[in-house]
Amino acid sequence: MTTITRRLALAILNGFDAFFAEYKNITLGAQARFEAADWQAAQKAMRDRLDLWKQKRKIVAEAVTTITAGGVYDRDNWEVAKAEYSELIQHHPNFEIAQSFFNSIYCYIFEHEKVRELHAFVSAPQGYKPEGSERIIHVYNFRGDGRDVVKEMLDNCHFNIPWEDQERDIGYIMELVERELLPKLDTKNHRARAETLESLFFRNKAAYLVGRIVCGDTSLPFVLPIQNSGQGSVYVDTLLYDPDDISIVFSFARSYFMVDASIPSEYVAFLHKLMPHKEIFELYNTMGMPKHGKTEFFRFAVDDTLNSDAPYIIAPGIKGMVMLVFTRPDFDYVYKVIKDRFTPPKEMSQEHVKACYSLVKRWDRGGRMADTQEFNNLAFDRRRFSEELMAELKKEAPSKIEESGNALVLKHVYIERKMIPLNLYLKQCDDDQLYSVMDEYGNAIKQLASNNIFPGDMLLKNFGVTRHGRVVFYDYDEICPLVDCNFRSLPEPQNDEQAMSTQPWYEVNPEDVFPEEFRLFFSGNQRAKKVFDELHSDLYDPEWWQDLQDKISKGFVPDLFPYRRKQRFQQR
């Protein structure tokens, strides 16, 4: 131990504690914003909280550079500082997130180069997994017909505005409980109880009460979405009890929750009991801890790769003009590398593409845009890469790769959930699936637009189909705020020469969009076009887009339900 290394470790821990305190303060305001129906403030708070990690990282990195008189650039100091930091956080309630913060400072100082276990917390602590705690759980033992239990659960939400009609909502809930949940429980031999997390989950314009019913060896998860009526009261919108429905609430295509959790790992442990199919990193992400989620994902990916013999190959589907995409056949994620040169007619810069991906990270994704993880200098085993993939990397992105023996380093890469490209899905679906997925495709475009997002390139290949049948957008290089677009009707040709021209004979500015041309996205698939025209032909009308722009400019924030409208107790 030296004075330099001790100060380095202490300064980083102080920086993490300062970050987490400010993170908590932003989160604590979620309920007040919900009760006031201040949706603009809610969106701003989400962006502010996402920016917080990078802001604190920069401040701490500059501070430790001064505190150590430049000693931060000596990796030997980091080896000692890591050991001292380990001692300092040994009993820290959020030690695993504190480790990620340490890693972040190290990577910032050394620009993500030579990240080794010797100097940073690359591997997970041996045998570690998030542990639950009884202190974050409210327990309700069932009595009578259960109505009193439901009332107590709702009262314990402690809203500062009244319920619109609590007795009505309890009636709706009990109808579903008696019909769908109680028949699955052995109440004759075991006493049932409900368990809910003490803090609500806030996102967009809703609050969610998350819990489960336990009876003997049976555990049934449930979620109660709570809405603000807009009239100074709240109401329960529905009861979600199907595991798939609950999984969609916590989907990778949705924005992060705001949850008053002093120890996020305790909440992650409880959520993992409800959704054991979700990985730990996914749950940290959904809790609003994407930077630590990135650490957990890296560890997950390393373990998954070591337990697989499958090669890395070019991802199925039409090759992108901007991104080179690859994966492993047995891996649920794809790697996306920005090409050095874009295929015409794409003309944007690489910095523009990065800015688009950053915008998506900070936007309310509304269940229609896939979350991404961004990595620099990510190392792979070169021997696992197919020759076709290596040839493609060397051809399309030579500046992004670096080879050293069996190591292949990708200097910049995005990682995203794997989905079936919509154009491929359409080739294998039946008529019912076609109708459903075309409705989903149109709804995805409309919901993105209502959230002030214009996808730009709406080709079928740029949308994916999830295991739940939802359509999600995943190609962001032309994305922009909807209000920045100029939606126009196609001018009528004035003569035969104009009518026969293969090129626009009228002036077109970069921000101009002609919705009538959207029909071209279905070229080659008239079967899909026919269904889309039946369901969403309004998207071809410039006035539809202009009206929505006007609403957004006046402060409109959409209702983004992570469940089908037919599941709502009241069709409002």
Q: Three-state DSSP class for 313?
A: strand
Q: Three-state DSSP class for 549?
A: helix
Distance CA 241, CA 210 (A): 10
371 catalytic residue (yes or no): yes
Distance CA 337, CA 351 (A): 13
First to last CA, the chain: 65
**DSSP per-residue string spanning 445-464:** HHHHHHTTEE-S---GGGEE
The tokens 């806030």 sit on which residue?
Answer: 202
Catalytic residue among 169, 245, 364, 371: 371
Cα–Cα distances in angstroms (integers) from residue 23 to residues 19, 50, 144, 290, 568, in the given order: 6, 9, 42, 13, 33
State the Cα angle at 349 between 343 and 355, rounded to 5°: 120
Residues in the chain: 572
Q: 472: Cβ–Cβ under 8 A, 6 or more apart, which residues?
A: 253, 367, 368, 369, 370, 419, 444, 463, 464, 465, 466
Q: Are 7 and 67 in contact (CB under 8 A)?
A: yes
Other beta carbons less than 10 A from residue 333's beta carbon: 18
Which value, in Å, is the radius of gyration of the alpha carbons in the chain?
26
Q: Three-state DSSP class for 115?
A: coil
What are the φ and ψ backbone dihedral angles of 404, each rounded to 5 degrees? -150, 100
Tokens for 501, please give them.
């021209």
Sign of CA dihedral 371, 376, 379, 383: positive
| Enzyme catalytic residues | 371
